[in-house]
Structure 1
Amino acid sequence: MSLDDLKDDVEANYTDLGESLDVDLDRETRNELAMLVAAMEPDDVGELVRRAVHMQFQTAVETGNLDFHLRNAYDVTYDEYLSGMTFEEMTGGQFPQQQQKDDRRYQF
């Protein structure tokens, strides 16, 4: 799979999700959500669910978990998705070379 496949899948999933989502809650999730509603007192319970999705996404990005899954499924990273081009396309297939050490600059 490729960057183009990922873009197509994201667009298709976005369309499929629509504006609302019915989610079945298991006992543990319902209990945890009830505790958060009691503590946070949101105007809308949906707001807590939206925050949870944002937190899950941010955590997946920060820990590299999203990149791991994207690399396995599409052979790209989130940064490549955001830029719209793969690392190879950005660099012409060349990996950055370590600069040669120039110890002479410290000689007097």
Structure 2
Amino acid sequence: MSLEMLTDDIESTAADLGESLPVELDRETRTELALLTAALGPEETDELVRRAIHGLFQTTVDTGRLDFHLRSGYDVTYDEYLSGMTYDEMTGADQYPQLDDERRYQF
């Protein structure tokens, strides 16, 4: 997998999700959402769901779990995705040929 494949998968999934997402809630989740709605009083429960997704995303980034899964599945990190370049591309490491240790010091 690669950075390009990750970008394609994200764009494809975002297009599939569209503007709205019907979600079925189990009893526990419905009760928790009702409690949060009563306590926080948002205009719509959609706002709490958006906040929950942002919170989960931030926690996943902060703990390094997102990078772990991206590295496992796509061989990139979140920083590489944001910059649009891999670390090798950023540092120029992919521009130099591999060294041949046997011929390194021969003239």
TM-score interval, normalised by the smaller of the two chains: 0.7 to 0.9
Question: How many angstroms apart in 2 are the aligned matches of 1:17 and 1:34?
Answer: 24
Give 5+ residue unaligned stretches, structure 2. Answer: 95-107
Question: Aligned AA for 1:10?
Answer: I
**Count of matched residue pairs:** 94
Residue 77 (structure 2) pairs with residue 80 (structure 1) = no
Shift of 1:36: 0.2
Shift of 1:93: 2.1
2:58 matched residue in structure 1? 58
Question: Aligned AA for 1:62?
Answer: D
1:17 matched residue in structure 2? 17
Give 5+ residue unaligned stretches, structure 1. Answer: 95-108
1:30-76 Cα distance to aligned partner (Å, 9 max, x none)? 11101101101111110000000011111111111110110000000
* Residue identity (%): 67
CA RMSD of aligned residues (A): 1.0
Shift of 1:5: 0.1
Tell me the TM-score normalised to structure 1 length: 0.84
Query: Any residues of structure 2 matched to 1:1-108 within 5 Å, and which?
Result: 1-93=1-93
2:98 matched residue in structure 1? none
* Structure 1 runs (4+) greater than 4 angstroms displaced: none
